[in-house]
Amino acid sequence: MTYDYKSKKVVAVLSANLEPEVALNVVGHLAISIGAYGEDLMGREKLFDASGVAHTGIAKYPFIVTKLRPGKLNALIERAKAEAGLLVADYPEEVLYTKHDDELAEAVAAKVHSQLKYMGAILFGDAEIVDALTGKFSLWRYEKPTEIETVLLRSKTGISN
């Protein structure tokens, strides 16, 4: 398999205010979407270890996870969708309040684009275009809450430890 590893890129952009368990859920759903619809994204279908056990292949291009302030996420998604050849998967808040795909479709259809609030997006395409849109974003990191934030969270949720 011959290809230029740096020619394309996958970048997840998450709202900076997401809790880690929500962020992981958002990335998981978006990654499935990009994997299903992205052309020329996957590497080998199977990888085999020395004992002959097969392992499912992964994406052949870099996959970076970044964060962005919630107020800037909608604008990024709009700019990314205007780029020809760029695949964009987005995750609107409505996903949290619906269960079935039909419910989600109805909830999204009931709003105009400017009313949707996004929790994240994944962009896949030419590395130069993706870098131009996301290159200055910070990498997503779990930021452990301060002791005061932990106490407030526990009192709010009723968790004692």
* Mean pLDDT along residues 82-109: 95
pTM of the predicted model, to two decimals? 0.85
Residue 1 or residue 16, greater confidence: 16
Q: What is the pLDDT of residue 155?
A: 74
What pLDDT score does 148 carry?
82
Sheet with strand 138-139: strands edge to edge: 87-92, 118-126, 8-15, 63-68, 138-139
CB 119 within 8 A of CB 95: yes
Domains and CATH numbers, the chain: 8-157 (3.40.1490.10)
pLDDT tens figures, 28-81: 999 999 999 999 999 999 999 999 999 999 999 999 999 999 889 999 999 999
Q: What is the pLDDT of residue 158?
A: 64
Distance of CA 119 to the CA centre of its chain: 9
How does pLDDT run across 2-11, given as a tens digit for each residue? Answer: 889 999 999 9
DSSP 8-state code for residue 59: B
Distance CA 117, CA 110 (A): 13
